[in-house]
Structure 1
Amino acid sequence: MVDSRDRSALRQLVGEVVSRRLSGNTHATLNAAFEELAMPHVPKEEGSLRVRIERSFAQTSDSDLPRVAERILAQGNLNAATRNGIEDLLWAESSPPEIPKRIRRELARALDLTAMARNQARFMALLERFWVLDPEESLADLLLPTANRTPSLRQLIQQHVFRNQEDWSAEDLFENLRAFEAGDARFARFLEGAVSADVLLDEPAQRQLVDVINERLRSAGIELRETGTDGGYPRFTMVSTRLADNRRPKNVIFASLTKPDIRFLSAVDNDIEIVGDPDNVLVYDREITGDGIRWRDLQSWWQDTQQISSEAEAKKTLYHRLRRSLPGNSPGQRNLFELYHQILGPAVYDLPALLPEVWLHWDHKTVRERGPEALLRSRMDFLLLLPHGQRIVFEVDGSQHYTRDDGQVPDSSKYAEMVAGDRDLKLRGYEVFRFGHDELKDAEYARGLLHEFLPALFQRFDVNGWTR
């Protein structure tokens, strides 16, 4: 899968940092430094340090560039302006919801700055994390007497927010931070931080601030929603309110060996009844938290329900049970399942579990028996339940999706049924990604495709935990 996004601005900014950061190496240490930044090795015989650095960075593909940028951010030691520039370019790729300037300003006018900044050290740490408080000073600036220097934003905040608390309103602070012009992702993350336990060590104060913020944000189709806990305090995340249905799933029915006999309206959002052999289908019935279902959650559930004492044995038997549910006539589905785990490696433990053969809608009567009352779609090839209520569906489409008579005759009605099912899923808050079976039937070709696709997917949906 080719990533066609223009990353020229990111390449220029990251390239400047790479050049400065790696220039202090020797020929002997340079390849190790490349590896730390997820950049390709260049043999020392190929030239000077500068040449090797330039060649390695030139060989870094655009699809790998975000990973290099993330490694640089993780290493730290960047000035705030450079850090913010890299972050803004990365965060923009996840298509954050728009927060218009008017709503930002109306929100700022409604906020009580004194209540937000009740703990000076914690509030200043929040501001340092997201904004540029100290300018880059030139040698000429440093030679000026202190009294003649232009005060930094940090100094202004200390004076007008903390020493003289009535000087600035929240609107004044936002104006000086340039928060009204900031990227949508930065503004949203700043608000998440402002209501976090890192800043407000008081749950009623957290909830009161969330209520004030949400009253203004909901007109933009977003809100701060409680998605978990942090040290016993609620954790709030900015989410869209425009998904048709982003409630937490109650039941996940998956890995079926035969067509299950289930009676319900929606297996994800309602209680269900399973008739017949329960061993033919798995039902994850634990609470699904704001983290979604990670492999660690699935393995823990499996270990408990199967009464397995060894974690290693639970991991092995769960993997084989899931793999056994895949259809034998679809090498593409098997490759997708196996390569997902091979590519992610040990990191998969803390990443979303890839659930195969998931039943979204089912009724004991067939479509033929129920006619137009039957739900259009009954099963998903794969489902990922991501943090913050995000739901991802993978479908592997063979010719049976749009032909009949063993692929000999095009069938527009089958195609219409498929796209109608997609619409239904999207209206229920799912994102659907389709793969042609021919893309995945060859394992090596599929490996290259998924090696590009998976990091782009996780970045798009802000899933942390995997470093390639």
Structure 2
Amino acid sequence: MNSPVRPEQLRGAITDVLESAATWPELPGLCRRLGLDAAPNQTDWNGGGKAKYVRALLEDHGLAELVDLARKVVEQVGSERLEKELAQLGPRGASGEFRNLIFAGTGPKPEMVLDDSVGNYLEITSNAEHWLFYDRPLTSQGLTWRNMLGWWPTTSAFAGIADEVDVSDPAALGHTLYKRLFASLPATSPPAQKLFITYCSRYGRPDGLDQPALIPEVHLHYDPYTRRERGGRGPLNRERMDFLLLLPNRVRIVIEVDGKHHYARQQASPAGQEAWTAAPDLYSVMVAEDRALRLKGYEVYRFGGYELMQPEAEDVLSTFFDRLLADSDVSPPPSTD
């Protein structure tokens, strides 16, 4: 995270806010609500004061943990100072622990059950052969191509081609993974295909294995029923996202490619020509979902399908990804010279 904010600076700001937000009797309870292990009362601190009490609770927190805590403080207590500190951090880290990814579907929707409802562990019980399921812990670097290549040969999807691939050759292994991911992209969306091709050609080479992996067609929410089974729209407006990047410091980037169906409806035309009418309700649903994602800590970036089919699209995408990853403390791609 390329940020002028240092951990000590953020630790001091949180301490000041909590010190002024609660009296001594109230402070332990406030700290517990924020997820801090608070001592039962101030007598354990020998009159050291509220600031000393709070700083002791924060001393082992790194920047990512402090950022999460600062957001909770802003939500529960409010602080313009902390809001300004957070605004300097660039892409924000998402709250909540990573559990799994279900992505790159090439067939019917997966059927799933909660194998452990306490731990929220999922098991795909049907149609698993059409989907990829990543459930390894994330590293400090997020989810990189190196992580993906270590996981890919262990999947059932790879088993059918294992005899044809030299797993010791990153290029050959990566090519099979690329083909499987690309196969999940809608054939009706050349713009999405172009985005994926452009990213992988720049950041998915064998000499760039520590670059973030671009994950297509990710199940963001999951409704066990189809819309047809529900008789129309279900409770979740957006079940899938087009692309996801999991970057260092728990930064989660959603990238959407918008065709006309995102903001307009096709109308019958007497001349048999394609005609579309603007649909404010579709647009409102889309931006409401974006707001909900941002409140959960995701960054959302949208590209118009028309934009990605222009001659300069590859340059636009390369510039965008270079700046995005630089702002997220990701090393630049290896030189192609």
Which interval holds the TM-score relative to the shorter structure? 0.5 to 0.7
Conserved 8 A contact 2:241-2:255: yes
Does 1:447 pair with 2:314?
yes
Q: Write the mapping of 1:379-458 to structure 2, written as runs, cut at 5 A.
A: 379-405=240-266, 408-442=276-310, 444-458=311-325
Instruction: Return the structure number with greater relative CO, CA threshold 8 A, min gap 6.
Output: 2
Using the TM superposition, name which of 346-355 and 95-104 deviates more.
95-104
1:365 is aligned to: 225
Deviations 1:248-288 (A, max 9, x none): 321100100134233469xxx94223242212110012222
> Can you give the 5+ residue segments of structure 1 that lack an aligned partner in the other structure?
1-89, 108-210, 226-235
Q: Deviations over 1:59-113 (max 9, x none)?
A: xxxxxxxxxxxxxxxxxxxxxxxxxxxxxxx94xx57589769927979xxxxxx
Please list the CA deviations of residues 407-459 of structure 1 after superposition, one character each: whole Å capped at 9, or x if unmatched: 612111111111121122112221100011111123x4211101211111012
Residue 272 of structure 1: SS of its match in structure 2? strand
Structure 1 counterpart SS, 2:312: helix
Deviation at 1:467, TM superposition (A): 4.6
Aligned mates of 1:238, 1:418 — CA distance in 2: 31
Structure 2 counterpart of 1:282? 132
Amino acid in structure 2 at the alignment position of 1:388: N
Larger of the two Rg values belongs to structure: 1
Q: Provide the rounded CA distance (Å) in 1 between the counterparts of 2:221 and 2:143.
A: 20
How far apart are the structure 1 equivalents of 2:139 and 2:11?
A: 34
Q: How does 1:82-231 map to 2 (within 5 A)?
A: 91=2, 94=3, 96=5, 103=12, 215=57, 223-224=61-62
The aligned counterpart of 1:463 is 330
What percent identity do the matched residue pairs reach? 38
Cα distance 1:325–1:382, how it changes in 2: closer, same or farther (>3 A)? same
Which residue of the partner structure matches residue 31 of structure 1?
Answer: none
Aligned residue among 172, 189, 196 for 1:330: 189
The runs of 5 or more residues in structure 2 that have no matched partner are 17-52, 72-91, 268-274
Q: 1:376 to 1:97 in 2, by over 3 A?
A: farther
User: Which secondary structure state, in structure 1, belongs to the residue aligned with residue 209 of structure 2?
Assistant: helix
2:109 aligns with 260
TM-score, length of structure 2 as denominator length: 0.66
More helix by share: 1
SS at match of 1:408: strand
Contact 1:295/1:352, CA 8 A, preserved across alignment: yes
Over 3 Å counting, the alpha-carbon distance change for 1:409 and 1:247 in structure 2 is same
What is the count of residue pairs matched by the alignment?
Answer: 256
SS of the equivalent of 1:405 reads strand
The superposition leaves residues 274-312 of structure 1 with CA deviations (integer Å, 9 ceiling, x where unpaired) of 242212110012222222110011111112323544233
Q: Given residue 226 of structure 2, which amino acid in structure 1 is its aligned partner?
A: T
Question: Distance between the aligned counterparts of 2:4 and 2:188, measured in 1?
Answer: 37
Q: Cα gap change, 1:217/1:401 in structure 2, threshold over 3 Å: closer, same or farther?
A: farther
Q: Counterpart amino acid of 1:430? A: Y
Q: Deviation digits for residues 380-415 of structure 1, max 9, x if unmatched?
A: 000001112111000000110011126612111111
